[in-house]
């Protein structure tokens, strides 16, 4: 069964094609800088044991152009003969609200409901929706399925997800914490449980990509998570503030004359590491620190300090801790962030091994000292594979 997975971000499209039940992809790709003149597509194929890679730079003004180009590449590189060979398309949709708590087949009614979630995740849901609309016109024979970032966190107890607003704001307007990156937290926590061979392991999963969030997990269930109503609260991110005192927003509006759209743009797109350093990519920020940039150093310290605070908080929620997991672009690759986060955490039984931490290795790995009570794991995430697995389970 050919399952094509699309992970549409705010300006990128990640995709993978699986011939399920095999969990090795036939093709893996990334379209970057959608909406810009210098967009690029990297398309890798794994056919008959041979890896081939194509990179092309071209203007990709919109998702339609991007996905059509991906479709051409799928046929040109022999991944499929034509689009009709795709049985299902699995879409990552960030916000499912309270309505979508599991994998959902996309119907006209579902699409209408999805449009009502745009305001809740303005960087993500509109592009996922666009991805669905374009996929429907290309993969006309395929079932279209949606997997929601919010779904995994639906096991959280009410005391964790409710806000202390008057109750009707929850009962009538569904204003509550939802939590995101659930597909990734689920995938890496399952990998960690298998690695530790401990189904009831008390875990803290730390997903550090462009968006960043943490989750407290036990028995395969999310008990708490750092993102809330939208994917903005909690950790400091590439361009998003994470937690800030809401009084700042009243001040911006009432005293400095900002419109709400300007505030939204500020806290979602101009803040976080970008706002602090002028750079949003951790690789560039690391270089800036090496060149003596004090702002970049402070931003790094703030980034790690925020993670540290959530580790303390989730160790309390779990009443113990077996392992912490670092994952996603920054979590998997940035040893310095892991080091700063785990240094001086002996009180919680967290002892990082500097050499192991700075040694690169593929796959799941342990970076604590041998007798550290808490294991520190680097676990590569694979949201696309998790989505393909869920689609296959539904359709097989
Ligand atoms: N080798 C690396 N060292 C440090 N940071 C890295 C490295 N590779 C990727 N990153 C960081 O990972 C981020 C992207 O992470 P990713 O999980 O792909 O994010 P997203 O899915 O949210 O787009 C980049 O912006 C960059 O900051
Ligand atoms: C929910 C979210 O922040 O996703 P991403 O990290 O892909 O931006
Ligand atoms: Mg991501």
pLDDT at 123: 82
Binding site, residues?
7, 14, 92, 207-211, 281-283, 329-333, 383
* Whole-complex ipTM: 0.98
- 149 as an active site residue: the answer is yes
Quick: pLDDT tens for 268-292: 999 999 999 999 999 999 999 999 9
User: Nearest residue CA, atom 24 of ligand 1?
Assistant: 281
| List of domains in the chain | 2-148 (3.30.420.40), 198-383 (3.30.420.40)
* pTM of this structure: 0.95
3-state secondary structure of 20: coil
pLDDT band at 38 (very low <50, low <70, confident <90, very high): confident
What is the rounded average pLDDT of the residues 85-101?
Answer: 93
From CA 65, how far away is CA 277, in angstroms rounded?
33
Please tell me if the CB atom of residue 264 comes closer than 6 angstroms to any atom of ligand 1: no
Angle at 174 between CA 171 and CA 175, to 5 degrees: 110
pLDDT at 62: 87
For a pocket test of ligand 2, which of 124, 227, 229, 230 has the largest count of ligand atoms closer than 8 A to its C-beta? 124
Q: Please, which contacts does 112-118 make with residues 24 or more away whose CB atoms are closer than 8 Å?
A: 114/146
Residues 12-30, buried b or exposed e (16+ Cβ, 10 A)?
bbbbbbbbbeeeebbbbbb
């Amino acid at each position: 069964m050919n399952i094509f997975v699309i992970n549409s971000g705010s300006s990128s499209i990640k995709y993978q094609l699986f011939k399920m039940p095999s969990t090795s992809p036939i093709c893996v790709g990334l379209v970057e800088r959608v909406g810009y003149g210098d967009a690029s597509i990297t398309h890798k194929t794994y056919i008959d044991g041979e890896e081939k890679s194509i990179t092309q730079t071209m203007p990709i003004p919109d998702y339609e152009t991007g996905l059509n180009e991906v479709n051409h590449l799928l046929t040109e590189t022999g991944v499929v003969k034509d689009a009709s060979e795709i049985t299902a398309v699995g879409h990552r949709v960030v916000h499912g609200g309270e309505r979508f708590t599991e994998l959902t087949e996309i119907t006209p009614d579902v699409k209408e409901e999805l449009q009502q979630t745009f305001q809740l995740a303005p960087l993500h849901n509109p592009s996922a929706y666009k991805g669905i609309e374009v996929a429907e016109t290309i993969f006309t024979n395929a079932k279209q399925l949606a997997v929601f970032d919010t779904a995994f966190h639906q096991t959280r107890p009410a005391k964790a997800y409710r806000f202390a607003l008057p109750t009707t704001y929850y009962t009538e307007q569904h204003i509550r914490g939802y939590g995101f990156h659930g597909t990734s937290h689920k995938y890496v926590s399952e990998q960690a449980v298998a690695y530790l061979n401990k189904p009831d392991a008390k875990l803290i999963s730390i997903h550090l990509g462009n968006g960043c969030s943490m989750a407290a997990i036990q028995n395969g269930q999310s008990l708490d998570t750092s993102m809330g109503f939208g994917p903005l609260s909690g950790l400091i991110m590439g361009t998003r503030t994470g937690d800030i005192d809401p009084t700042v927003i009243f001040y911006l509006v009432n005293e400095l004359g900002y419109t709400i759209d300007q505030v939204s743009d500020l806290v979602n797109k101009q803040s976080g590491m970008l706002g602090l350093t002028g750079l949003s990519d951790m690789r560039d920020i690391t270089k800036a620190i090496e060149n003596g940039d004090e702002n970049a150093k402070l931003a790094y310290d703030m980034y790690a300090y925020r993670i540290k605070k959530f580790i303390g908080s989730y160790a309390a929620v779990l009443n113990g801790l077996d392992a912490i997991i670092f994952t996603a672009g920054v979590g998997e690759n940035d040893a310095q962030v892991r080091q700063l986060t785990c240094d001086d955490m002996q009180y919680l039984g967290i002892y990082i091994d500097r050499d192991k931490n700075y040694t690169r290795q593929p796959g799941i790995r342990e970076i604590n000292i041998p007798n550290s009570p808490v294991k520190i794991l680097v676990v590569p995430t694979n949201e696309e594979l998790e989505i393909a697995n869920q689609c296959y389970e539904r359709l097989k």
